[in-house]
Structure 1
Amino acid sequence: MAPISTQGFILTRHWRDTPTGTEIEYWLATDGGPLKVLLTAQTSVAFVEARHRGTVDAQLLALPDVQLRELGLKTFQQQPVLGVYARQFKQLGRLARSLQQLGIPLLEADVRPHERYLMERFITAGVVVEGGRLEDGVRLDCKLLPAPDYRPALKVVSLDIETSQHQDLYSIALDGLPERVVFMLGEAPDVPAETPGFALIYCHTRKAMIEQLNGWFVRNDPDAIIGWNVIQFDLHVLQKTADDCATPLLLGRGAKPIAWRTHPGKQGYLFAPMPGRVVIDGIEALRAAVWSFPSFSLENVSQELLGEGKDIGDEYDKMAEIERRYQHDKPALALYNIRDCELVLRIFDKARLLQFAMERAHTTGLQMDHFGGSIAAFSHHYLPRMHRQGYVAPNVGDVEGKSSPGGYVMDSKPGFYDSVVVLDYKSLYPSIIRTFLVDPVGFAEGQHGIGAAAPILGPLGTRFSRERHCLPEIVTTLWRARDEAKRAKNEPLSQALKLVMNSFAGVLGASECRFFNPQVISAITLRGHAMVKATRDFVEQRGYQAIYGDTDSIFIWLKRTHTNEEAHAVAAALVHDINAWWTRTLREEQDLENHLEIEFDTHYKKFFMPTIRGSDVGSKKRYAGLSVDAEGREAMVYRGLEMARSDWTPLARQFQEGLLSRVFQGTPYRDFVAGYASATLAGEKDELLIYRKRLRHRLDAYVANVPPQVRAARMADDYNLRMGRPPQYQTGGWIRYVMALNGPEPLESRQSPIDYAHYLDKQLQPIADAILQPLGDSFAALTSSQQELF
């Protein structure tokens, strides 16, 4: 008999229409293992303005299972609405389409049943299952309540496959659970080789490999599948192989297939939902957690995070070596295959990616393998609170107009500086929302003059209610939860809360969001503009100079050289005084509680702000500095400069770093510049000359404008075809090439000598002159003898 109450973590969610109503299915991870919950005969709901009742009633004659009910809700335009209740969710879609032809919107008809059930109960990922009945291991018609603190231990498998260069399946590796195994295509040898720590199972056919894989999933029953490009490559190849063999690929719980979907906005991008299991791609998880790498290849990320990588070299060496091992040393291929699984597991552990995915689900209300979805996360939090304030949501596109200005970027004052401190507003946009009560419901109330209290006045004539709003409370709850997560040193939860909270302003400014309103988002961004300008005026009244500002940060030159201790003391005093000034000003001008908080960020002992190349105007979002912390530890910082960008060569990045560090440290730089140019011309830095650039479109899409990387990619694929290899770049990707005397040439087929003049003129000289000209020097003057060589 099932326990009365069970805690669980939602892994997957699904809905389906049946003759008796809509069914909602949740798969949960619990302390006692996986649990399937099925809620039957659920009613779906949408809303329509009451003034259209006669027209809607006529439409309902063809939909007998749909009913209208009186409700105490209204639109943002203060129009009362009726509830539209349907036995089947798809009936709402049919009604919405027929009403749309009559110019009548059916509101919230696109909110899917399994999402609405959770959001209206304030459930994100953790649940308490109460009541219901147990039939064939399924909990039926129970009640779900929120359990925000529940965190189960998930069973995780790392999956990786190896194939030929034509994506013919050779082996499948599975690691992370006790049954570590590699399924290998081929005949078992008479004398099996030792494979320490995992089983090597030979399969006569690829059909047998798929069947073995299906059986492994039934026996081991993982909650999560992880990998590297695991959906777009590994699972996709497995599905194609299964289809070619006329064998079902049954990796979902209950031996269910993958319900493949394509991304509506990304051609060829796939989703692989399956009942009861989440699929988490390491690349997507790292990006969602705001990790940054020059390359997200497994080799590069392994080297950077773990200090080790794979045992095969570049892409072509790799394919040749995989083929050799498959033909002549299958145990070595198996070891390589499961080694990739192990690296993925260790990266997930090192970066705490699984914890981040779980905490993000708890924070957003989205499925843990759904890494986008800022708009969906906003709606999950906002809709139920808005309903309790007496409002229904508009549809996407109901409000037109251009979005607001972005963050304020102050004109910079270029040059070299001593003693620059940076102050930064903590979570600027969330703090503006909390302080000025910026909110869609509050805007509707304020603009219509509802409420006894005087509204809060905002930019562009906006008015917001002091009494009724939703978003400030949501942000406050997330803010406090993040403070608690930081105190508990729960970095994955802290990061998830920060990212979600900071996304809300962007969501309000996205036309794809149902709450898009240019006036509301402008009340946030323009307030940010005013804050940075007011802060600039404040510090300049104190005798300092603001030399740059960007959205929530302000860079302050202290006007003379300060010791590290003096600079930190000045910054601390400014922070105290600015925060006190905001508290006093907001109380006196609008009787508001201050949640704006500026913090000390960095002291730069030396700082460099360049000009826009070829002009005297200061650049934006590009600078470098020698920072010093409170303990006196120094570090070079680069933002937006060539050495921080992947589209410049390592030659340029290393040169810029070397030159700036010498200028900042006050050591001689002239010999360095001349020597670097000389070594480049002598071929001593050839390994640094490689461009690595992304092909953002198909190769055949480049017609009128053909950039160097495209020319190199076309040459590479012509060479690949001549060598009997599959083309690598037809649909995009990353290409590595050098500039030769005959133009850009890919590493795959170098033919002509290096064009060293190109690298001096296009890579070194622009960097050098940006730094040297403020010092009264130039690249040409320091390399005149080398320049004569070309």
Structure 2
Amino acid sequence: MSDVLQGFPLTRHQRDTSEGIELSYWLVSAQGAKLVSLPGQEAVLFVRQQDQAAIAQQLQGLNGWRWQSLALKNLLEQPVAALYCRTLASWHTVIERLKASGIAMMEEDIRPADRYLMERFIFAGAAWTEAGAKSRLTPIDIKPVFRVLSLDIETTMKADRILSIALQSEGYERVMMVGSELAPEMGPKKSHPLITYCADEKRLLQQFVAAVQEFDADILIGWNVIGFDLRVLQRRAEALGVRMQLGRDRQVLRVGSYGQNRHYARLAGRVVLDGIDTLKGATWQFERYNLEFVAQALLGRGKAIDSVNDRGQEIQRLFAEDQSAWHTTILKIAVWSAKSLPKPG
């Protein structure tokens, strides 16, 4: 008897195992998110059949690949063959050797985890059928409901210390900040129910990780959230010895960069959407891309605090001189910023 799960493939992953390449997908379903795996897969790329002898020479001594002629042709009407690789390691080696030798390849840039979905016309919903080694995904129509969580951090001017972290979703608001609700400037009666006070920055990061795992979001959104917020969170976590375990598999957050000032974040089971990149991808153009300017243009309103142009300096001054006013200001900034972000539809 086979089990069937219907959901939306949120993130996809691939790795080498003793049984070949394992493809795995986090499906968002009515029962929550679940990780499904497809073992024993192969990676593939395409070449011209006329290059068979040259390819065999270049791949001499390399194991884990096989040749298969196909009844297909490229755009020049030349017969095509497929090179199947048992492991990701051999697939990368094949690509490197053929590229170095100048042998033409086709679709070598498509990841196996992506190709599996493409070849089965899975563009949105998918049904996962578990039947031992014959587990598979098939396309279905589905309208997923995502749990979306907005993220915003406040730091020192040099971003060498995190002062507060705000999280917001429909019916959910939480701000974590360094400080004490019993500070003399505030008094115990002025504490705010939305605020969690942390003794130091390390405790702040630990509280943040726990909050993300507890809320269990499908999508994290923020303004410059990858290029700034997550990069700073990763850097400060490493400096303070905190494991930034934000993925559903509890692996540590990985933020990297490519090209010119472009960044990416890898979180198993969660998608990170940057407000700036999302609007640009939807062809929106603005004179400036700071959140204040875009919010005024789209929503007709800005931050619910004074001295917007001197926001950074004002935050630093209040943190040093007036803890009570600082707490109030941070709360306004954090909640407003989270609510003003464009939400995925």
Compute the TM-score of the two structures, normalised by the length of structure 1.
0.41
Structure 2: runs of 5 or more not aligned = none
For 2:28 and 2:334, the matched residues in 1 are separated by 23
Structure 1 residues 56 and 286, CA gap change in structure 2 (3 angstroms): closer
Give the match's secondary structure for 1:108. coil
**Equivalent residue runs for 1:493-512 within 5 Å:** none
* Contact residue 96 and residue 105 of structure 1 kept, 8 A: no
* Contact residue 148 and residue 220 of structure 2 kept, 8 A: yes
Question: Which deviations, in whole Å up to 9, do the C-alpha atoms of 1:411-439 show, x marking residues without a partner?
Answer: xxxxxxxxxxxxxxxxxxxxxxxxxxxxx
2:210 maps to: 215
Q: Of 312, 322, 335, which aligns to 2:306?
A: 312
Give the match's secondary structure for 1:174. strand
2:70 maps to: 71
Question: Which deviations, in whole Å up to 9, do the C-alpha atoms of 1:88-137 show, x marking residues without a partner?
Answer: 1331231233233443223322221011101101111321222346xxxx
Alignment: residue pair count? 340
Offset at residue 60 of structure 1 (A): 4.1
For 1:211 and 1:105, the matched residues in 2 are separated by 50
Structure 1 residues 54 and 291, CA gap change in structure 2 (3 angstroms): closer
1:289 corresponds to 2:289 = no
2:336 maps to: 343
Structure 1 residues 125 and 339, CA gap change in structure 2 (3 angstroms): farther
* Contact residue 132 and residue 142 of structure 1 kept, 8 A: yes
Q: Of 149, 153, 159, which aligns to 1:157?
A: 149
* Contact residue 165 and residue 334 of structure 2 kept, 8 A: no
Structure 1 residues 144 and 346, CA gap change in structure 2 (3 angstroms): same
Offset at residue 221 of structure 1 (A): 0.7
For 1:85 and 1:280, the matched residues in 2 are separated by 34
Structure 1 residues 340 and 157, CA gap change in structure 2 (3 angstroms): farther
**Equivalent residue runs for 1:763-778 within 5 Å:** none
1:301 corresponds to 2:291 = no
Match for 1:30: what amino acid? S
Structure with greater helix share of residues: 1
**Equivalent residue runs for 1:218-367 within 5 Å:** 218-263=213-258, 265-266=259-260, 268-310=261-303, 311-315=305-309, 317-330=310-323, 332-348=325-341, 353-355=343-345
For 2:272 and 2:336, the matched residues in 1 are separated by 17
Structure 1 residues 251 and 52, CA gap change in structure 2 (3 angstroms): same
* Contact residue 155 and residue 224 of structure 1 kept, 8 A: yes
Match for 2:188: what amino acid? P
1:657 maps to: none
Structure 1 residues 285 and 193, CA gap change in structure 2 (3 angstroms): farther
Question: Which deviations, in whole Å up to 9, do the C-alpha atoms of 1:478-522 show, x marking residues without a partner?
Answer: xxxxxxxxxxxxxxxxxxxxxxxxxxxxxxxxxxxxxxxxxxxxx
Offset at residue 193 of structure 1 (A): 4.7
Question: Which deviations, in whole Å up to 9, do the C-alpha atoms of 1:619-655 show, x marking residues without a partner?
Answer: xxxxxxxxxxxxxxxxxxxxxxxxxxxxxxxxxxxxx
Structure 1 residues 39 and 70, CA gap change in structure 2 (3 angstroms): same
Structure 1 residues 106 and 289, CA gap change in structure 2 (3 angstroms): closer
1:118 maps to: 117
Match for 1:203: what amino acid? C
Offset at residue 177 of structure 1 (A): 5.5
2:10 maps to: 11
2:194 maps to: 199
Offset at residue 69 of structure 1 (A): 1.7
1:745 maps to: none
Offset at residue 178 of structure 1 (A): 5.1
1:103 maps to: 102
For 2:268 and 2:300, the matched residues in 1 are separated by 36
For 1:61 and 1:19, the matched residues in 2 are separated by 23
Structure 1 residues 94 and 285, CA gap change in structure 2 (3 angstroms): same
* Contact residue 170 and residue 185 of structure 1 kept, 8 A: yes
Structure 1 residues 163 and 101, CA gap change in structure 2 (3 angstroms): closer
Structure 1 residues 306 and 189, CA gap change in structure 2 (3 angstroms): same
Task: Flag the structure with more relative contact order, 1 or 2, with Cα contacts below 8 A and sequence separation at least 6.
Answer: 2
Question: Which deviations, in whole Å up to 9, do the C-alpha atoms of 1:66-98 show, x marking residues without a partner?
Answer: 111222112222222222111013312312332
Structure 1 residues 101 and 345, CA gap change in structure 2 (3 angstroms): closer
Offset at residue 341 of structure 1 (A): 4.4
**Equivalent residue runs for 1:499-578 within 5 Å:** none
For 2:27 and 2:216, the matched residues in 1 are separated by 13
Compute the TM-score of the two structures, normalised by the length of structure 2.
0.89
* Contact residue 181 and residue 191 of structure 2 kept, 8 A: no
For 1:272 and 1:208, the matched residues in 2 are separated by 23
Give the match's secondary structure for 1:10. strand
Offset at residue 141 of structure 1 (A): 6.1
**Equivalent residue runs for 1:608-757 within 5 Å:** none
2:50 maps to: 51
For 1:337 and 1:210, the matched residues in 2 are separated by 17
1:545 maps to: none
Say which one has the larger Rg.
1
Question: Which deviations, in whole Å up to 9, do the C-alpha atoms of 1:652-694 show, x marking residues without a partner?
Answer: xxxxxxxxxxxxxxxxxxxxxxxxxxxxxxxxxxxxxxxxxxx
* Contact residue 123 and residue 146 of structure 1 kept, 8 A: yes
Question: Which deviations, in whole Å up to 9, do the C-alpha atoms of 1:192-243 show, x marking residues without a partner?
Answer: 35455x4322222211111111111121111111111111111111111111
Structure 1 residues 328 and 150, CA gap change in structure 2 (3 angstroms): farther
Structure 1 residues 331 and 230, CA gap change in structure 2 (3 angstroms): farther
* Contact residue 168 and residue 339 of structure 2 kept, 8 A: no
Match for 2:19: what amino acid? T
Offset at residue 345 of structure 1 (A): 4.7
Structure with greater strand share of residues: 2
Name the Cα RMSD after superposition.
2.5
Structure 1: runs of 5 or more not aligned = 134-139, 356-790
- Percent of pairs identical after alignment? 35
For 2:334 and 2:15, the matched residues in 1 are separated by 35
Match for 1:84: what amino acid? L
For 1:188 and 1:141, the matched residues in 2 are separated by 57
* Contact residue 178 and residue 201 of structure 2 kept, 8 A: yes
* Contact residue 47 and residue 105 of structure 2 kept, 8 A: yes
For 1:71 and 1:292, the matched residues in 2 are separated by 46
For 1:16 and 1:295, the matched residues in 2 are separated by 41
Match for 2:90: what amino acid? Q
* Contact residue 181 and residue 200 of structure 1 kept, 8 A: yes
Give the match's secondary structure for 2:163. strand
